[in-house]
Amino acid sequence: MTTRTFVLVHGAWHDGQAWRRVRPLLEARGHRVRTPSLTGHGEKAHLLGPDVGLSTHVDDVVALVLAEDLTDVVLVGHSYAGMVISGVAARIPDRVALLVFLDAMVPADGESALDVMPVTQTMIDAAATSEHPWRIPPLPERPAPWGLFGVTDPDDLAWLCATLGDESVRCFLEPVHLGPRDAEAVPRAHVHCVDPSSPTRRPGVPDGERVRELVSGHDAMVIAPVELTELLLELSGAR
């Protein structure tokens, strides 16, 4: 078995606890795992402010990798964090062995989260009329079968809601800079979550990049941690 270093990056509104079921599964197989909370979330929730943006979150992950001198990193980004890991790979491509986009945004150079997912404008517009126009609260729970980010189990929903926090509008408006061509050499793979009740397809994956489908709602790390772990091991060549 090949030992890997996984850095698992959570999506918008979540924090590092989102990976609480996946991390021990990877560690039990002998791998090193880091699950940082991005600025404004988890233990860094008090740092949330209007100046927190995509570049802040890219800096968070770059700083972690450099501080711990991590190399050959399997960098996994969930949802919005597809933007984050793209920026990280552009900054330190020599440290990253593989990018895994988990039901994630996949930007081109100069695109923002709003460009990748225009429906985000609805949330930005709603925030603009609120008491704090720079912050966007978590999405509301929807009736079954959608739930909250695909999570429908009552206990999981209660736990998830307790961990979610607001996101800065700047995170969705700031463009990603993919930088030097060295970043293009970092291999990429994609895991698309496919819920039988609402199947989705994500166009635009370049030829030659591996794609796997996972029968799960959006928050696969909560809903299907065992299956997700096996996919991460397969894609990273760790099994």
Q: State yes or no: pLDDT of 15 exceeds 90.
A: yes
- Tell me what pLDDT residue 204 has: 58
Q: Dump pLDDT digits (tens) for 41-94.
A: 999 999 999 999 999 999 999 999 999 999 999 999 999 999 999 999 999 999
What is the per-residue pLDDT for 198? 53
The count of other CB atoms within 10 Å of the CB of residue 22 is 23
Q: Find the mean pLDDT for residues 146-154.
A: 92
Task: Give the pLDDT confidence of 166-215 residue by residue, as tens digits.
Answer: 999 999 999 999 976 555 689 999 999 987 655 454 555 666 789 999 99
> Is residue 236 annotated as a catalytic residue, yes or no?
no
Q: Which of 37, 55, 79, 130 is catalytic?
A: 79
Q: Would you place residue 226 in the very low, low, confident or very high pLDDT band (cuts 50, 70, 90)?
A: very high
Residue whose structure tokens are 């696969």? 220
pLDDT 10s digits, 117-134: 999 999 999 999 999 999
Residue with token string 């930007």:
107
Cα–Cα distance measured from residue 10 to residue 23, given in angstroms and rounded to the nearest whole number: 12
Query: Under DSSP, is residue 219 helix (H, G, I), strand (E, B) or coil?
Result: coil
- Give the N- to C-terminal CA distance of the chain in Å, as an integer: 6
Please check the confidence at residue 110 and state whether its pLDDT lies above 80. Answer: yes
How much is the pLDDT for 208?
A: 73
Three-class SS of residue 47?
helix
Q: What's the pTM value of the predicted model, to 2 decimals?
A: 0.94
SS (H, E, C) 63-101: HHHHHCCCCCEEEEEECCHHHHHHHHHHHCHHHEEEEEE
Q: How far is CA 89 from CA 58, 95, 161, 188, in A?
A: 9, 8, 31, 10
- Residue 142: per-residue pLDDT: 87
Is pLDDT of 143 > 90? no
Q: Which span out of 140-144, 145-149, 200-204, 214-218 was modeled with the highest average pLDDT?
A: 214-218
> What is the pLDDT at residue 112?
97
Asked whether 103 and 10 are in contact (CB, 8 A), the reply is no
Backbone angles phi, psi at 95, to 5 degrees: -95, -10
pLDDT at 36 over 90: yes
| Side chain identity at residue 167, one-letter code | E
Residue 113, pLDDT score: 96
Q: How far is CA 189 from each of CA 75, 104, 145, 210, rounded to the nearest angstrom?
A: 10, 11, 28, 5
- Residue 180, judged by CB atoms within 10 A of its CB (0-12, 13-18, 19+), counts as exposed
Top-tier CATH class for 5-235: alpha beta
